[in-house]
Copies of this chain bind each other. A is one copy, B any other.
Amino acid sequence: MGSSSSRLNILETASKLFQVQGYHATGLNQIIKESGSPKGSIYYHFPEGKEQIALEAVEYTGKIVREQLNKTLTASADPVESLQSVVQHLVDHLGHPEDVEGVPIGLIALETCSMSEKLRKACSEAFTSWQRLFADKLIENGFKQDRARELGILLQCTLEGALTVSVTQDNSEPLRILKEQIPLIIKP
């Protein structure tokens, strides 16, 4: 196969590690150990080294989250209800870093945005794509385009922040408060 399964395996392992530990705390040695691939394979598949792995991991995570968000947002027609399910999923997965939904790029974004323009852009584009999903859901439900775009950005920021604070405080309360306030925020 052109894109071997060993390559994908490295990417999946790296993505999880970068999400939880961040860029600098995740060593190639750890990626090697946890993925089972040897160092030689890493530099064969990713000749530009760690930065290339991180770049592709951000793109990969962006896509996974996009798909998961899309599924949750289309499960209910009502935008308030479906956005509340998105938050609820985050609550349910607190402390279970696999299968996260909505914010898992915040750490690597903050770590790398002042260090690598390539990585900053990749994180920025992931954020934008999520914002657009929220906006589209609102447009479908009769919101004007500009207003939907504003709210899409606000929602993505708020999710990002509430997840950060919930993880730091080891407490789902911030996310639960956000969930309850969604109807307040989603106003035409």
Contacts and interface: CB of A to CB of B under 8 A. Distances in A.
A160 B164 contact: yes
A170 interface: yes
Copies in the complex: 2
A115 interface: yes
A101 to B, nearest CB: 15
A28 interface: no
Contacts of A167: 109-110, 113-114
A179 to B, nearest CB: 11
A185 B178 contact: no
Interface of A: 20-25, 106-107, 109-111, 113-115, 120, 123-124, 127-128, 150, 153-154, 156-162, 164-165, 167-170, 173-174, 177-178, 180-181, 184-185, 187
| Those 3 A-B pairs whose CB atoms lie nearest each other, nearest first | A161-B161, A24-B24, A160-B161
